[in-house]
Amino acid sequence: MTTQPLLGWNSFDSFGGYLHEAAAFAQLEAFAAKLAPHGYEYFVVDIGWYGEYELKPGTMFPSPETKHAMDAHLDGHGRPLPSKCYFPNGFDALIKRTHELGLKFGVHLMRGVPRKAVELRLPIKGVASLTCADIADTSSTCPWCHYNYGIDMGKPGAQAYHDTLVRQLADWGVDFIKADDITAYPEEILAYVRAIRNSGRDIKLSLSHGGEADPRLMPVYRQADMVRITKDIWDDPESIERSYNAWQHWQPFTEPGFWPDLDMIPFGDLQTMSPEPEPGELPEGKNPSLCGKGFRRSDQLDAVQRRTFMTQRLLSASPLMFGGDLTTINDEVLALLTNKRALACNQNGVSASILYMRGDVQVWRASSRTELGKGWLGVFNRNPARQAEDLILTADRLGLPPQTQLFDVWEDAIMGSLADHPHLRLPSLGCRFIEYAGARHEAGVPALEPHQQPHVSPEP
């Protein structure tokens, strides 16, 4: 069980399904230099690491008609292996380097058993009389990825397949599994839980979207470490609104060891392996459908929206999985990801709840688990129509003593006390992220002092 939300990097937003060996090593070294000193730990290779893709000649880019690979690299027992296309030397050196840097290594898996393993009737390791075809539920498929069939957990050999799959990953040194298309399939979730226990290795389990997450499955979800509660989140205002709604719905269920996950942080350079097709590159009428969303770009959020997006994840105690290209990350984004006060709020592990609403303005509050009289406020303007909103903070509205001291986290500035009735002006889709503490004279409550962020120089 994890007592704090997990922090890490995931390859999906910046590479889709097309992370390759050289890029993985470059991202890993940048991760160790830029995020690891601030507590980020998990380096996760997302979907496609076992896919054998058709590439554009002379490049590492997928064919513009390719979303998911049409072939998968499997061993003789139907378990995925790093693709010869993108990881010709396997994962050994990458995992070794991850651990040398004091970090954890993770991989993505689709729910079920590879269709190729079913078609070839590959034997399940350790169960010589059964094949992958014997456990497959061919009626259970993912609507957006053709790699796998679901597994009928009532069939002999079903748990054995999960056990041997996870045991192989454990033997490689994998520390984190993102199981995808699974939140609607409790029996297959429990199969992973059992397999991880049987592996003898401390492997964190992340459950990703497979239909809407269902609070009625909480007893099952709580046996994993984090659970996606939204469909894919991207660099657009719609994703910010979707995150508010998911956060509010799932806030009552957050507790140490169970972290509702608002998905990755899509800041910086995205979809780096998905260049927009040249004119005439695709057959007439054919729409490109690469893995991820859109084509190669820098994120489309502005500075105000990025602060709001990040504040949602900090106050909700969501796991923080950055998705952008770490080799090109800029100072603004890095400062949002590594702000000491901001991370303290997230790692406090308490999901804020709505305290006060007025029109499109909402005030959310999370209290410190360890320090009396301390906590954090998020004051949000949810108006999407480019209309600014004003709010005066008062002690009675917030349920805090008038002498409570306020500190603006993103501006790194003391705001005074609630007795001063601070006036906030909030731009459309903007926010103020505030740390509060008892007055200086209250015993045991620390004063709020400005925190000087270290200067971060971009890599040459």
Gyration radius of the chain over CA positions: 23
d(CA 44, CA 175): 9
Is the dihedral angle over the CA atoms 308, 309, 311, 315 positive or is it negative?
positive
Same domain, 190 and 328: yes
Could you please report the per-residue DSSP string of 102-134?
T-EEEEEEESSEEHHHHHTTPEETTEEEEEHHH
Residue 8 exposure: Cα atoms within 13 Å on the Cβ side: 29
Residue 457 lies in a domain: no
Query: Can you give the residue range of the structural domain that contains 424?
Result: 353-437
18 close to 60: Cβ distance less than 8 angstroms? yes
Same domain, 68 and 213: yes
The C-alpha angle 206, 263, 163, rounded to 5 degrees, equals 15
Q: Using the predicted structure, report yes or no on whether residue 2 has a pLDDT greater than 90.
A: no
377 close to 363: Cβ distance less than 8 angstroms? yes
Point out the least confidently predicted range of 85-99, 174-188, 383-397: 383-397
Closest-CA residue to 384 (of 237, 166, 180): 237
Residue 442 lies in a domain: no
pLDDT tens for 212-221 read 789 999 999 9
Is the dihedral angle over the CA atoms 437, 441, 447, 449 positive or is it negative?
positive
Same domain, 391 and 409: yes
d(CA 243, CA 88): 38
Q: Using the predicted structure, report yes or no on whether residue 398 has a pLDDT greater than 50.
A: yes
Query: What's the confidence (pLDDT) of residue 439?
Result: 61
Q: Tell me the pLDDT of the chain averaged across its residues.
A: 92
With a CB cutoff of 8 Å and minimum separation 6, the contacts of 318 are 5, 247, 259, 260, 261, 262, 312, 346
Instruction: Report the percentage of the chain scoring pLDDT > 90.
Output: 84
For residue 272, count other CB atoms closer than 10 A to its CB: 23
Q: Using the predicted structure, report yes or no on whether residue 147 has a pLDDT greater than 80.
A: yes
Q: Using the predicted structure, report yes or no on whether residue 459 has a pLDDT greater than 50.
A: no
Is the dihedral angle over the CA atoms 275, 276, 277, 283 positive or is it negative?
positive
228 close to 108: Cβ distance less than 8 angstroms? no
Same domain, 280 and 368: no
Secondary structure of residue 426 in the 3-state scheme? strand
Residue 453 lies in a domain: no
Same domain, 410 and 338: no
257 close to 222: Cβ distance less than 8 angstroms? yes
Same domain, 387 and 277: no
Same domain, 215 and 257: yes
For 232, which DSSP code?
-
Q: What is the mean pLDDT of residues 148-159?
A: 98
Q: What is the mean pLDDT of residues 314-321?
A: 98
Same domain, 326 and 365: no
Same domain, 341 and 357: no
Domain boundary among 287, 322, 347: 347
Query: What's the confidence (pLDDT) of residue 444?
Result: 39
Residue 325 lies in a domain: yes
Query: What's the confidence (pLDDT) of residue 283?
Result: 62
With a CB cutoff of 8 Å and minimum separation 6, the contacts of 302 are none
Query: What's the confidence (pLDDT) of residue 137?
Result: 98
φ and ψ at residue 370, rounded to 5 degrees = -120, -15
φ and ψ at residue 59, rounded to 5 degrees = -135, 175
Residue 319 lies in a domain: yes
Closest-CA residue to 373 (of 436, 313, 328): 436
Same domain, 382 and 247: no
Domain boundary among 347, 364, 383: 347
Residue 446 lies in a domain: no
Q: Using the predicted structure, report yes or no on whether residue 458 has a pLDDT greater than 80.
A: no
Q: Using the predicted structure, report yes or no on whether residue 284 has a pLDDT greater than 70.
A: no
pLDDT tens for 226-280 read 999 999 999 999 999 999 999 999 999 888 888 999 999 999 999 999 988 877 7
Same domain, 253 and 375: no
d(CA 195, CA 264): 26
For 419, which DSSP code?
G
The pLDDT confidence band at residue 288, using thresholds 50, 70 and 90, is low
pLDDT tens for 124-145 read 999 989 999 999 999 999 999 9
pTM of the model: 0.93
Same domain, 118 and 147: yes
For strand 353-358 and strand 259-261, is the pairing parallel, antiparallel, or unpaired?
unpaired
Q: What is the CATH number of the domain that holds 142?
A: 3.20.20.70
Q: What is the CATH number of the domain that holds 395?
A: 2.60.40.1180
For residue 358, count other CB atoms closer than 10 A to its CB: 11
Could you please report the per-residue DSSP string of 245-290?
HHHHHHGGG-BTTBEEE---B--SEE-TT-PPPPTTSS-TTPPP--
Residue 300 lies in a domain: yes
Q: How many domains does the structure of the chain reveal? A: 2
Query: What's the confidence (pLDDT) of residue 448?
Result: 54
Domain boundary among 297, 328, 347: 347
Residue 2 lies in a domain: no
Q: Using the predicted structure, report yes or no on whether residue 384 has a pLDDT greater than 60.
A: yes
